[in-house]
Structure 1
Amino acid sequence: MNELERMLRADLHDVAGTVDIPVRLDTVAAVRDRMAAADHRTRWGRIALAAAVVAALVIAAFWVAQAVLFRTPDTAVPNPLQTPSEPAPAPSADPSAQPPTTTPSAVPATPSPSASAAATPVDPGGRTVGMFVYFAATESFPNLVREVRQVPAQTPARGALEAMLAGPSDPESVTLWNPDTKILGISEHADLITVDLSREAEDFNLGAAYEGYMVDQLVYTITEAFQPTFRVLITIEGRPFVTGHNVYDQPMTRGEGTDSPIRLVIDTPAQDATVSSPVRVTGLAAAFEATIMWEVRGTGPEAPVVAEGVAQTDEGMVLAPFAFDLPPLGPGTYLLRITLDDPSAGEAGPPASETKVFSVR
């Protein structure tokens, strides 16, 4: 250290000795406490943030588990089905809807070519259930009729639609759907049934009224496998069912395609059935003053009437069940015809009428 450095050191020492810095213990303690409190708040803030992140992750994991592990499959789970001896309750009809004065030519006069293939395949166990399948009557259209068909117990909804597409066994009724239509899927969500069909379903040539009955034919048939009050959405390969007359992009219930799709149905005896006498006749009718007329004759072109009479439905002016016994009949083949009472004497068009051919053993 040279002389100049020694002089500067001495001067700095002398100046530092004159500086007085007051230090109080309570001031130091207050500063320490403030620093400790700030550190405490920071630590608890970090803990709260971590807890919130963990809670959010737990809630997200719960919803993922519920959506993936516990999701109800999008498949049809039918309710217990009706059998031939326990028919489904029928919907009410609106008898005020007036039928056309002539039978439109758009409905085929003969059943579809695939009517002979009406039977649907059974499941591997061979178990079947009875289902009502709906068709359009050709003799007294507009009117939907139905047949009891045995369908696979494992897939009753699909079996019923396949039977509908295949066609009826009664030569006086027909399916309005293109028989080449394929059923791509059937699903149920609460009270909504979605039926997805192939594009062949759009290949038809019907007027607006017949199109409505075509839609009703499917809606009535598919709801037999679930509940009559369920809604039905028809899609074509996943998109809305669009025709030249309507866009069916909303769910439909029974009867929304037309005002009154069913006026008269004979359930028993079934077409071509062999029964014992006395023959029990049952069905549904929307009859004026609950009155229906019936007659039985042979099946030949000039066969005479062998019995005739009048019967009553359970209630007039709405679709209601009827049941009565025919007089004793000898062995042979017969044609039963039931006709609704016509208060207009033909002015409102021909009254609804249906026939069944049956044999007495």
Structure 2
Amino acid sequence: MTTPTPDDRRLRELLSGAVDNIEPADRLATIRSRTAGPARPKGNAMSTQRSKLVGIGGAVLATAAVITGIAWAGGVFDSTPDSPGPAADPTTSVTPQEPDETEPSEPTEPPAEQFTAGVYYLGETPMGTRLYREFQRVEGATKLMAAVQAAVEGSPQDPDYSTPWPTSLTVADATEDGDVIRIELSDTADRPSGMNAEAAQLAIEQVIYTAQGAVGARTPVQFMVDGNPVSEVLGVPTSEPLAQGDPLDVLSLVSITDPSEGQRVSGGTLKVSGTANSFEANVPWQVLDGDTEVAADFFTAEGAYDKMYPFGGDIDISGLAPGEYVLRVQTDDPSSGEGPGPFVDTRTFVVE
């Protein structure tokens, strides 16, 4: 067997130093074992010189083999070491493959919830147009937002009520921090032609009362557009937070809470509730079948004169045939018709 010459050993040491730091390190021994050549037999001087040259040449070939093996191991070529791929075409370029990136999902809005909210609308009274309250099942991110949207964008269930807000206007947001309720509108909302100053002022009151009812506090309301207070809405000055108007000047003096418009009733009893400010707290009522009175009496409110007071009770309707009826509730009229007349609210209900 021929002993490796110093040049052979030096070349192998250099090769070993060049590849020992290449990953994966745990495959270097295997690669070296595959590229190691067989030992050479001893010979004469010329033979020794030839052996030296052959040995150097073999070391060079071994170097190439090791580098090639490292390239296979590192994944440089698109094939396995045991099955080399075809020679590369120098005229062909390889386009690197883009990483498979997942598109980020669109942010989702908070799920809508349902609430029961008192929403205020406009209705006619002997003292002009005033606000009536109607309880609705509303849906939105918050009770405040849902209630204000119903007041501005929605429609009343009772055909006797209306809303003066332009259909082009929407509520972008509604928030409160304990000191101020902020209502963000989609636009500055100029007053439409045909809307008088009284209706415009009541439209503002409509939103104020609805928003305050949703948060359960008489918190001032600031109207906003694009994140800033707006100087006017429907021609009404709104640069500062607004308090609600006097209930006895703004609200109808009688308003039904239950039953709701079109409610179906079974069991022989009609449950009634509402608020009123009526003479001596008397709140007369009638049940009408068309224009015919089929039942009548009165409720007694919890108070009178200084504010709106709750009233309520049960009406026996067990003797009524199935069909549609109207509940009519009003304030007492001590003038016996000589004054402007009573405030009235009505609800249609269906006996099953």
* TM-score of the pair, normalised by structure 1: 0.59
Inter-CA distance 240–286: structure 2 relative to 1 (3 Å threshold): same
CA distance in 1, matches of 2:261, 2:139: 21
The 8 Å contact of residues 115 and 138 in structure 2, kept in 1 or not, is answered as yes
Matches within 5 A, 1:200-239: 201-204=189-192, 205-237=194-226, 238-239=228-229
1:186 is aligned, of 153, 156, 174, to 174
CA distance in 2, matches of 1:347, 1:212: 30
Matches within 5 A, 1:124-143: 127-138=113-124, 141-143=128-130
Question: Who is 1:78 aligned against?
Answer: none
Alpha-carbon RMSD: 2.5
Matches within 5 A, 1:30-179: 127-138=113-124, 141-152=128-139, 154-164=141-151, 165-179=153-167
The 8 Å contact of residues 144 and 263 in structure 1, kept in 2 or not, is answered as no
Inter-CA distance 138–167: structure 2 relative to 1 (3 Å threshold): farther
**TM-fit CA distance, 1:250:** 1.9
Pair 1:247 & 2:234 matched: no
Q: Secondary structure, in 3 states, of the residue corresponding to 2:215?
A: coil
1:333 is aligned, of 289, 312, 324, to 324
Inter-CA distance 194–347: structure 2 relative to 1 (3 Å threshold): farther
Give unpaired runs (5+ residues) of structure 2: 1-108
Q: Deviations over 1:51-103 (max 9, x none)?
A: xxxxxxxxxxxxxxxxxxxxxxxxxxxxxxxxxxxxxxxxxxxxxxxxxxxxx
**TM-fit CA distance, 1:219:** 0.5
CA distance in 2, matches of 1:249, 1:209: 19
**TM-fit CA distance, 1:171:** 0.4
Question: Which one is further off, 315-324 or 153-162?
Answer: 153-162
**TM-fit CA distance, 1:290:** 0.6
CA distance in 2, matches of 1:162, 1:135: 12
* TM-score of the pair, normalised by structure 2: 0.61
The 8 Å contact of residues 144 and 175 in structure 2, kept in 1 or not, is answered as no
Matches within 5 A, 1:261-272: 261-272=251-262
The one-letter amino acid paired with 1:353 is: V
Q: Secondary structure, in 3 states, of the residue corresponding to 1:235?
A: strand
**TM-fit CA distance, 1:190:** 3.0
**TM-fit CA distance, 1:218:** 0.2
CA distance in 2, matches of 1:282, 1:151: 20
Matches within 5 A, 1:305-320: 305-317=293-305, 318-320=307-309
Q: Secondary structure, in 3 states, of the residue corresponding to 1:143?
A: strand
CA distance in 1, matches of 2:277, 2:116: 24
Q: Secondary structure, in 3 states, of the residue corresponding to 1:220?
A: helix
CA distance in 2, matches of 1:227, 1:163: 17
Matches within 5 A, 1:272-287: 272-276=262-266, 277-287=268-278
Inter-CA distance 211–202: structure 2 relative to 1 (3 Å threshold): same
Q: Secondary structure, in 3 states, of the residue corresponding to 2:150?
A: helix
Question: Who is 1:18 aligned against?
Answer: none
**TM-fit CA distance, 1:293:** 1.4
